[in-house]
């Protein structure tokens, strides 16, 4: 077939399929990824047979994943990546190797040979970065704790894929011998990573500046693409993951002034290539293998999803992730992934597993990827409402520079009260909330709330934190609240922080960071209830008020006193006991004095001298 005509023909099929299937799928409420996968199945070898070589397309479209990781890297400054090192290597390794071992164990028990079981375990333990991060981006969950956890695990899988691919061929019985190039290969790999980091730090920004000065937009776009392609090629030449290299390059540019431009330039390429990638996955589902042993395939899919989900759910509970984020976290990482394809192909090529086993495993992975968006839809319908999950509504992030002297981060139950009080006093405040649903609700009531994650420096800056006098941190998530406080203290030192503390631990965290204006969210409400009980038990309303206020002062003083001893539990318990004792003694003494005064004759008769004060405590 003529080369040009072939290209035209292929474009016609792919674009046509995507343009038809994706809007249809979205209309049905299934999301775009299912649309792409369905389009792939329809045009693939098992559908209309319009395309017969899905593997070639898969390789080409993998570049979409590379671009995506570059864009993810752009969102992640080196400092934040460094902060993620523990989730990456800790939770990431736990997920990958925990799942792999469990799946391999189940495989061996089910009667598979151990090389097959191990290959299946390693391959199935991988998760689809493309779908995972794609869904996170589509739902604006990237900055949530579950989003960061998914990213961490995906990054570790990217890193671990390299040694795994090196080890898999060695699993052939008796064929285990190192090829002597290991050290050289490792040295090369390190050299390339070092080159990317150094080059990224020293050369990229001047180069981009020089290109930008030419004022030719398409050349800047070309340069952006070239940058990603070159990094990917460099990594591939030494056998490293292309996506990992692109991610590194992205991180290195995360603090540059060209970040936004790079993002907007590459976004459409990423979207289209990812779409192609999903189409290719749909095409590569080998229905012959599935139909030959439908029961076995179903068992493999259900089995590995269940094992991985169990591991992930245990992880989500221990981390712990917020309840409503756990289903998404579990589903996104439980599915198989594109690295699985590569692992199985490599194993088959090396003769570790048979062709039939390989196509069966590939089909299982592809089916799990197909099932993932469906599972998510089901979760949204039936589980999420119960968990009061964030709505899937999409809103644009805050983008216009704001000027209000007050920024309120988090506009839930707490932030709203703060905001209403300020508003009633004619003060304008810029409101940032991470929940799209929340933003839509308060907007309906006429509040100019913005959608955005306050733990992101750029959004805080856009919200006007740079010139705000006060930043109210009313976020309910403790870690995010502390992250915002850190950002504000580091970058917007002119602003005074007024913070909501969820609990005592959070309170101490805020004190440690030097926040002066902290309110424990339950303290005052609980004191008012206590005051009411005192009144109901016969205390005079004003006396009850005084006791509540005195208790409040005492409690806060005690907490301040205990703050430096955090971590020393014995000391804390001792101080807390001592504090409670002091208050009890003080009040017992006062009650005693009061009784004595009451016992004095004539104190309350009209003949008392001079009308002096000091009768407040009597009666």
Partner 1 sequence: MAEIVIIVAHPQLQHSRVNARLMQAAARAAPARVDVRDLYALYPDFFIDAQAEQAAIAPARLVVWQHPVHWYGMPPLMKLWLDEVFAFGWAYGPGGQALRGKDLWPALTTGGPEASYRPDGYNRYFFDAFLPPYEQTAALVGMRMLPPLLLHGAHRVAPADVEAHAEVYAERLASYPDWPELADLPGCPDCVVPADARPTESP
Binding site for partner 1 (CB under 8 A): 546, 549, 553, 596-597, 599-603, 608-610, 612-614, 616
**Nearest approach, Cβ of 609 to partner 1 (angstroms)?**
5
Diameter over CA atoms, the chain = 119
Q: Return the number of the residue (7 or 603) whose C-beta is nearest partner 1.
A: 603
Cβ proximity to partner 1: between 111 and 602 the closer is 602
For residue 32, give the nearest of 395, 381, 275, 337 by alpha carbon: 275
The CB-of-420 to partner 1 minimum distance in angstroms stands at 20
Q: How far is the CB of 597 from partner 1 (least distance, A)?
A: 8
**Residues in CB range of 191: below 8 A, 6 or more apart:** 238
- Smallest separation (angstroms) from partner 1 to the CB of 543: 13
Q: Judged by CB, which is closer to partner 1: 86, or 604?
A: 604
| Between 461 and 550, CB nearer to partner 1 | 550
Pair 506, 478: CB distance under 8 Å: yes
Nearest CB to partner 1, comparing residues 396 and 617: 617
Q: How far is the CB of 616 from partner 1 (least distance, A)?
A: 7
Q: How far apart are CA 243 and CA 259, in angstroms?
A: 18
**Which residue number, 494 or 615, has a Cβ lying nearer to partner 1?**
615
- The DSSP bridge partners found for residue 409 are 432, 473
Closest CA to 415 of 396, 388, 434, 387: 434
Kindly state the smallest distance separating residue 553's Cβ from partner 1, in Å: 8
Of 298, 332, 434, 326, residue with least CA distance to 128: 332
Other CB atoms closer than 10 Å to residue 324's CB: what's the count? Answer: 16
Smallest separation, CB 525 to partner 1 (Å): 16
Nearer to partner 1, 388 or 417 (CB): 417
Kindly tell me which of 317 and 553 has the beta carbon lying closer to partner 1: 553
Q: Which two tokens stand for residue 381?
A: 């319908």
* One-character DSSP codes across 368-424: HHHHHHHHHHHIIIIITTTTTPPP----PBP-S----SEEEE--SHHHHHHHHHHHH
Extract the tokens encoding 258.
């060209």
| Smallest separation (angstroms) from partner 1 to the CB of 590 | 12
Nearest distance in Å: CB 562, partner 1: 20
What is the smallest separation between the CB atom of 552 and partner 1, expressed in angstroms?
9
* Nearest residue (CB) to partner 1, 194 versus 549: 549
E strand segments, 463-504: 470-473, 496-501
Find the shortest distance in angstroms from Cβ 604 to partner 1.
9
- CB neighbour class for 122 (10 Å; exposed up to 12, middle 13-18, buried from 19): buried
CB nearer to partner 1: pick between 85 and 604: 604
Both tokens of 257, joined, read 């002034």
CB 119 within 8 A of CB 352: yes
Neighbours of 199 (CB within 10 A): 16
Q: How far is the CB of 551 from partner 1 (least distance, A)?
A: 11
Using CA atoms in the order 280, 282, 285, 288, what is the torsion angle rounded to 10 degrees?
A: -110
Q: Among residues 493 and 601, whose Cβ is nearest to partner 1?
A: 601
Closer to partner 1 by CB, 9 or 597: give it.
597
Nearer to partner 1 among residue 580 and residue 608 (C-beta): 608
Q: What is the DSSP string of 306-375?
A: HHHHHHHHHHHHHTTPPGGGHHHHHHHHHS--HHHHHHHHHHHHTTSS-HHHHHHHHHHHHHHHHHHHHH
Give the span between the Cα atoms of 598 and 460, in whole angstroms. 60
How far apart are CB 549 and partner 1 at their closest, in Å?
5
Question: How is the beta sheet containing 517-520 ordered, strand by strand?
Answer: 449-451, 429-433, 406-409, 470-473, 496-501, 517-520
Q: From CA 283, how far away is CA 42, in angstroms rounded?
A: 8
Q: Is 171 left (phi over 0), alpha (psi -120 to 50) or beta?
A: alpha
For 488, the token pair is 């504000």
Q: Least distance in Å: CB of 601 to partner 1?
A: 5
Question: Would you give the distance in Å from CA 231 to the centre of its chain?
Answer: 26
Distance of CA 554 to CAs 515, 544, 579, Å? 20, 15, 8
274: nearest Cα among 35, 508, 61, 498? 61
Nearer to partner 1 by Cβ, of 424 and 601: the residue is 601
27/601 with CB nearer partner 1: 601
Q: In the complex, what is the shortest distance from the CB of residue 511 to partner 1, in angstroms, rounded to a whole number?
A: 21
């Amino acid at each position: 077939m003529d080369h040009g005509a072939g290209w035209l023909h292929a474009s016609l099929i792919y674009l046509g399929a995507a343009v038809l299937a994706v809007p249809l799928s979205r209309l049905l409420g299934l999301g775009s990824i299912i649309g792409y996968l369905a389009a792939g199945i329809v045009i693939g070898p098992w559908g209309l047979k319009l395309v017969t070589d899905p593997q070639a397309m898969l390789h080409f479209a993998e570049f979409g994943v590379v671009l995506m990781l570059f864009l993810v890297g752009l969102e992640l400054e080196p400092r934040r990546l460094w902060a993620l090192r523990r989730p990456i290597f800790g939770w990431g390794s736990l997920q990958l190797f925990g799942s792999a071992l469990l799946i391999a164990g189940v495989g061996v028990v089910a009667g598979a040979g151990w090389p097959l079981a191990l290959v299946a375990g390693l391959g199935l333990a991988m998760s689809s970065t493309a779908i995972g991060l794609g869904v996170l981006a589509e739902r604006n969950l990237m900055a949530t704790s579950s989003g960061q956890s998914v990213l961490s695990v995906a990054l570790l899988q990217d890193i671990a894929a390299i040694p795994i691919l090196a080890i898999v061929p060695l699993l052939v019985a008796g064929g285990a011998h190192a090829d002597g190039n290991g050290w050289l290969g490792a040295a090369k790999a390190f050299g390339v990573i070092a080159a990317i980091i150094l080059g990224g730090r020293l050369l990229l920004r001047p180069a981009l500046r020089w290109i930008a000065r030419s004022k030719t937009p398409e050349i800047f776009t070309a340069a952006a693409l070239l940058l990603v392609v070159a990094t990917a090629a460099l990594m591939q030449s030494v056998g490293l993951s292309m996506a990992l290299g692109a991610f590194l390059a992205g991180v290195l540019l995360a603090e540059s002034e060209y970040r936004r431009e790079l993002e907007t330039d590459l976004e459409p390429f990423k979207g289209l290539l990812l779409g192609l990638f999903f189409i290719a996955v749909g095409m590569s589902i080998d229905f012959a293998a599935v139909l030959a042993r439908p029961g076995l395939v179903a068992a493999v899919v259900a089995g590995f999803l269940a094992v991985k989900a169990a591991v992930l759910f245990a992880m989500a509970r221990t981390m712990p992730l917020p309840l409503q984020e756990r289903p998404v976290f579990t589903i996104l990482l439980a599915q198989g992934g594109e690295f699985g394809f590569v692992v199985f192909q490599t194993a088959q090529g090396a003769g570790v597993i048979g062709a039939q086993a390989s196509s069966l495993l590939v089909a299982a992975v592809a089916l799990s990827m197909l099932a993932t968006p469906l599972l998510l839809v089901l979760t949204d319908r039936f589980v999420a409402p119960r968990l009061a999950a964030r709505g899937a509504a999409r809103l644009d992030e805050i983008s216009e520079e704001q000027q209000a002297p007050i920024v309120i981060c988090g506009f839930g139950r707490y932030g709203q009260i703060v905001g209403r009080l300020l508003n009633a006093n004619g003060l304008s405040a810029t409101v940032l909330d991470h929940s799209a649903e929340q933003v839509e609700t308060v907007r309906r009531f006429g509040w100019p709330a913005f959608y955005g994650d306050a733990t992101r420096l750029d959004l805080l800056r856009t919200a006007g934190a740079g010139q705000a006098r006060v930043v109210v941190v009313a976020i309910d998530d403790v870690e995010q609240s502390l992250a915002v406080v850190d950002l504000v203290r580091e970058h917007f030192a002119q602003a005074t922080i007024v913070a909501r503390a969820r609990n005592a631990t959070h309170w101490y965290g805020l004190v440690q960071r030097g926040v002066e204006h902290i309110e424990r969210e339950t303290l005052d409400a609980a004191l008012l209830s206590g005051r009411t009980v005192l009144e109901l038990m016969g205390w005079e309303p004003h006396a009850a008020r005084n006791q509540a206020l005195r208790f409040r002062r005492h409690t806060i003083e005690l907490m301040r006193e205990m703050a430096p001893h955090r971590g020393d539990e014995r000391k804390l318990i001792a101080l807390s006991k001592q504090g409670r004792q002091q208050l009890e003694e003080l009040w017992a003494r006062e009650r005693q004095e009061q009784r004595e005064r009451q016992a004095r004759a004539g104190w309350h008769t009209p003949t008392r001298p001079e009308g002096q004060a000091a009768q407040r405590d009597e009666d």
